[in-house]
Structure 1
Amino acid sequence: MSGQAGSALAVSAAPIPNLTTDDDVDAIPLRRPWRWVSAVAVLALVVSFVIVIATNPNLDFDTVGEFLFDPRILEGVWLTILITVISMVVSTLLAIVIAAMRLASNPVLTTVAWFYVWAFRGTPVLVQIVLWGYLGLLFDRVTLGVPLTDVVFWQMDTNALVTPFVAGLLALTLNQAAYSSEIVRAGMMSVDEGQREAAYSLGMSPLYTFRRVLLPQAMRVIIPPMGNELISMLKNTSLLSVIAVLELYTQASMISSSNLKQVELLIVVSLWYLFMTSVLSVPQYYLERRFGRGSSRNLPPTPLQRVRAALARRQPGPEPAPETQIVSVP
């Protein structure tokens, strides 16, 4: 080593000087006792509510467990899911068309789309369900032919064509399309106008621009409220009981009318609706993450990623390497 001035040696486990002084400020966290007081008060209220419900002698929990997986209840659950999926898919497609008409430069298309939204948003969905259910009172037969002539290509009895199931689908789909179209239109208007101009400058048609440029960017704004509309659609299926569609609530009402356990069957219905809305919230969460990738550099971790990170923190890591200090040797 001698004879080589300025050479450096790595000395392992060299002592590190204490850099603290008497003038350092000790940061003491601010005490917030009211946080604990409010938390204890809320927890006490929740526990009290649970105890009151659990010890209520007027509630027959055995009946709740008996009918929770009853075949009639399960049939109502599957029909509720089917109506929700069909109505939401068709109404979303129709909403995209209506939103495009509202944004079009053609005054006829704009006026027709505006009138559709005005009519279906301005009347209660329950009234629309009853009107579609009683369509046979207005028209005896549904006919396809030339108006004001005797030429008829096809005709069918209205009650045979528009069954309660079909009437419920029509009412929920057409009503939801009016609301969803405004959500889609708001999402389209959130996209910068320069995107449209750039697409037109490249020779893209208005329809192609709408489908491949504007709509994908608007999905970041559309997905959250559309998820709420999906959950609302699921719960609105209970209104179809007025036209005797055998969905979940109707099945529970029929059972409770025979055993006089109305409250217990309502608890069964509520548990199933809570379960279905919880399941439907999962794809909404991941869709929001997918279409929000371009708006945020760091997306929040998913629940699965949080679990993996927590497990990784609990596992012991490798031994840290000894600290080194570079010392110059003359």
Structure 2
Amino acid sequence: MGTLSAAGNGFLRQHFSGVGRFRLRKPLHHIRTACLLAFGLLVAGPTVVHAQTAQTDVPSFAQNGTLTVCTNPTLPPMTFVKGSDASKPEGMDIDVARALAERWHATLSIIPMDFTGLFPSLGAQRCGMVISGIIQLPDREKNFDAVAYQDTALTVVARANTAPINSMADLSGKTIAVQSGTSYAARINRENEALTAAGKLPIIIQQYPTEDQVVQQVLIGRVFAFVSQDVELYFRQKQLHGKVRIILKPDYSDYRHFAIYLRKNAQDRTLVQNAISTLEQDGTLTAYRQKWSISSQTEQALTQDNSAPAFNWGAFFSALTSMAFLRGAFITLAVALLSHAIAIVISIPMAITLNGRGNSLLKAVLKTYVSVFRGAPTLLQLLFIWNALPQFFPIFREQWFTPFLATLVALSINESAYQVEINRSALSAVDGGQELAADALGMSRRQVYRYVIFPQALRIALPPTINDFISLLKTTSLASVISLQELLAITQVQVARTFEFTEYYAAALVYYLAMVFFFLFLQKRVERRFSWADRKKASANAS
């Protein structure tokens, strides 16, 4: 009996003890998992909460890890090109943008462009902020939010021998230069309303695309004075060589602050305000002001005579051989060649269709295309494609749609409208009897065009086509308004940095003339190459 009991107990232990272990192992496994999960949450919880909190401190336009800023680098010391690389502007505005990007743990991306393109680009979401030494004004805040970061004052500047004036009314009947796209013209127009009401002559306003051109009008005596900001004049003291002086600082309450502009968003505005307040409190902004000499203590130096040489040959040859100018010339040439090649490809089938018989719907559409794109100004087409197109099709806001590509599209479309007429006229100039003769010989339609019509049309169309290309080569300078760093844009940036107008414009002129003369030479060679056809035709007619 004892042996049987022992055997039974052994049998039970052997066959059923595993069940017990299995039943115990499962709850122990759950307990272990729960403990590990709790420990993980305890350790990672603060990190997750911190990350979520940090993300709420970042404006929506920088939450993708990139802070994109639009600026016009022609207003030192706020934003300008200090060296030869126009794609890397410097100045207080750039330092502020860099500090904000660092605070928000984002990569800073700077997009230099013409002043008139800043707010359209912001509205089209090509950038998250605009910081470019721009006055905080109620009119601008109707469409965009603004956060002030630097005090400033409006100034009226004239030549050094000009006596100070007491008020804006003393400018009655005089000519004032201002930069296009700024608020200065609107401010002067309000003064003109008061002058007209008082029976006085209004102030005459002349607008120029860049600040350096505005200053130049005073230096050469074309206008009486120009309107700018005090911080710019303090910085430009050495460049202006004592040739100008501040004759008036009108006290306008709405012209006292530079501001960062962003799209309407209350939370984003608050976050930017908090960030600027922090930079002010920790002394960062004060350090930037000292770095860029933004101080009224330097106003006396404006009238010091530091005469510059009549022509700086060193600056001229430096520009002529600089990589910045070479790169700008290459971009200019590349845009012109590619857009003209695309225009030719587009225009040939259009010209053949328009030259055909009958009046189809397609011909009516093509005629409308030619009329519209020949009639609309090229600059307007360029701005429409760059600034208006993204509002209808958000895909064009992406990084792939670069200024180079936008320029290529705009100029190709515009140029194709002109090239259609050149090709159509060339095709029409081919004697119709030759086409009939080719048909009589049994040639197919493709063979007629390939062996009879196209060779003669090419000879006729080539000279005006090259002329049109030379014109297009110069038209590429319009692309500077959408921040394409072509030759003229590079030149203007360097002029704004140094105020050496003659030297840098002369260097740009050398590049343009070199490119144009090369294609004129090519045109003459091509014309001589095809002149045998004219001589042969003349001989045939004589016989």
Q: Which residue number in structure 2 is paired with residue 223 of structure 1?
A: 462
**Displacement of 1:283 after TM fit?**
2.0
SS class of match (2:485) = coil
Rounded Cα–Cα distance in structure 2 between residues aligned with 1:63 and 1:223:
39
Q: Per the alignment, do residues 274 and 201 of structure 1 end up closer, same or farther by CA in structure 2, a change over 3 Å counting?
A: same
Which secondary structure does the structure 2 equivalent of 1:281 belong to?
Answer: helix
Q: From the superposition, tell whether residues 203 and 298 of structure 1 become closer, same or farther in structure 2 (CA, over 3 Å).
A: closer
Q: 1:271 aligns with which of 510, 515, 540?
A: 510
User: What does residue 402 of structure 2 align with?
Assistant: 163
Match of 1:132 in 2: 385
- Matching residue's letter, 2:429: S
Measured against aligned partners, the alpha-carbon deviations of 1:6-27 in whole angstroms (never above 9, x if no partner) come to xxxxxxxxxxxxxxxxxxxxxx
1:101 aligns with 2:340: no
Aligned counterparts of 1:269 and 1:166: Cα–Cα separation in 2: 23
Matched residue type, 2:386: G
State the partner residue of 1:177.
416
Q: How many angstroms does 1:57 deviate by?
A: 5.6
Distance 1:200 1:194, change over 3 A: same
1:60 aligns with 2:312: yes
User: Does 2:538 correspond to 1:292?
Assistant: no
Distance in 2 separating the partners of 1:173 and 1:100: 19
Measure, in 1, the Cα distance between the counterparts of 2:507 and 2:419: 30
Who is 1:187 aligned against? 426
Q: 1:113 to 1:258 in 2, by over 3 A?
A: same
- Matched letter for residue 125 of structure 1: T
Q: What do residues 195-235 of structure 1 show as CA deviations (whole Å, max 9, x unaligned)?
A: 11112223334344223311111222211111111111111
Residues 121 and 178 in structure 1, CA contact (< 8 A), matched pair in contact too: yes
CA 1:118–1:217: 2 relative to 1, 3 Å:
same
SS of equivalent to 1:293: helix
> Relative to 1, partners in 2 of residues 1:298 and 1:271: Cα closer, same or farther, differing over 3 Å?
farther
**Preserved CA contact (<8 Å) 1:165 1:245:** yes
Q: AA paired with 2:443?
A: M
| Change in 2 beyond 3 A, CA 1:287/1:257 | same
Structure 2 unaligned segments of length 5 or more: list them.
1-307, 539-543
Equivalent-residue separation in structure 1 for 2:441 and 2:413 (angstroms):
36
Asked whether 1:256 is paired with 2:495, we answer yes
Letter of the 1:117 partner, please give it: V
Give, in whole Å, the separation in 1 of the partners of 2:390 and 2:467: 33
Tell me, in whole angstroms, the C-alpha distance in 2 between the residues paired with 1:232 and 1:261: 27
Q: Which moved more, 1:157-166 or 1:116-125?
A: 157-166
Q: Does 2:312 correspond to 1:73?
A: no
Indicate yes or no: 2:453 matched with 1:199.
Answer: no
TM-score by length of 1: 0.65
Is 1:88 aligned to 2:346, yes or no? no
Give the one of 240, 253, 256 matched to 2:479: 240
Aligned residue number for residue 13 of structure 1: none
Could you tell me how far 1:298 is from its partner in structure 2? Answer: 11
Q: Give the whole-Å Cα distance in 2 for the aligned partners of 1:228 and 1:183.
A: 11
Cα deviation, residue 86, structure 1:
0.6
How far apart are the structure 1 equivalents of 2:503 and 2:537? Answer: 46
| Structure 1 unmatched runs, 5+ | 1-55, 142-156, 300-330
User: 2:367: which partner in 1?
Assistant: 114
Indicate the structure (1 or 2) with the bigger Cα radius of gyration: 2
Question: Could you tell me how far apart the structure 1 residues matched to 2:368 and 2:530 are?
Answer: 31
Classify 1:123/1:210 alpha carbon distance in 2 versus 1 (closer, same or farther; 3 Å): same
Over aligned residues, Cα RMSD in angstroms?
2.1
Greater mean deviation of Cα atoms: 202-211 or 163-172: 202-211
AA at the equivalent of 2:401: V
TM-score (norm: length of structure 2): 0.40
- Give secondary structure in 2 for the equivalent of 1:229: helix
Q: Which amino acid aligns with 2:391?
A: L
Q: Which moved more, 1:228-237 or 1:197-206?
A: 197-206
Work out the CA distance in 1 between the residues paired with 2:415 and 2:377.
11
1:69-112 CA deviation, whole Å, 9 max, x = no partner? 11101100111111111111111111212111111236123112
Alpha-carbon distance change, 207 to 117 in structure 1, aligned in 2, over 3 angstroms: farther
